[in-house]
Chains A and B, each alone.
Chain A
């Protein structure tokens, strides 16, 4: 059984740029969600994808968007990057939109 994998592991971007992060869900899981974890804090829910559609969203602006593909992999896109977007971005997968969630090791994004 393969776990959740994310790429890249680290990324440095400049304010105002755009970034795409990628996630492959755990084998057998059809639901993917994304979380933002600032340093020293717990993860915060960004959104969830199920059957290739956004199926729930946290308190994040529209410049955070995503996609889910037929193989259940997913992308997180962030436009017009701000310094506060610097964080660890975590992808999690589960079955049929229900806990428990299994997380990847994240992408560390630094915005300068």
Chain B
């Protein structure tokens, strides 16, 4: 079993929909949680970064962390065709430096 699980999709939604992307994990030592967006032939682009539990909002994006359930989510409001990409969750332990553990990514398609 992988440390971080993510539904690969593809997830197809109409433009303007609210998108919910999720990851589950097994290592309770994870403290840092990140969401990255990756377009084809590009590197991952940091969207959201949270430490420990709670919610964080940035524009159309909201990240939620529930450490008791080992479950993290990314919500995208008013989705746009330009949001079509692969979304990667990543997490790390305290004092683990740059050693991130990634999920396999969810491919999102937003149709006009």
Contact = CB atoms under 8 A, between A and B. Distances in A.
Interface of A: 4, 6, 31-33, 35, 40-45, 48, 50, 55-56, 58, 90, 92, 94, 97-106, 108
Contacts of A105: 41-43
Interface residues of B, number: 26
A35 B88 CA distance: 14
Contact of A33 (B6, B45, B98, B105): B98
Contacts of B44: 43, 90, 103
Given A90-B43, A100-B46, A103-B43, A43 B97 contact: no
B50 to A, nearest CB: 10
Contacts of B46: 100-103
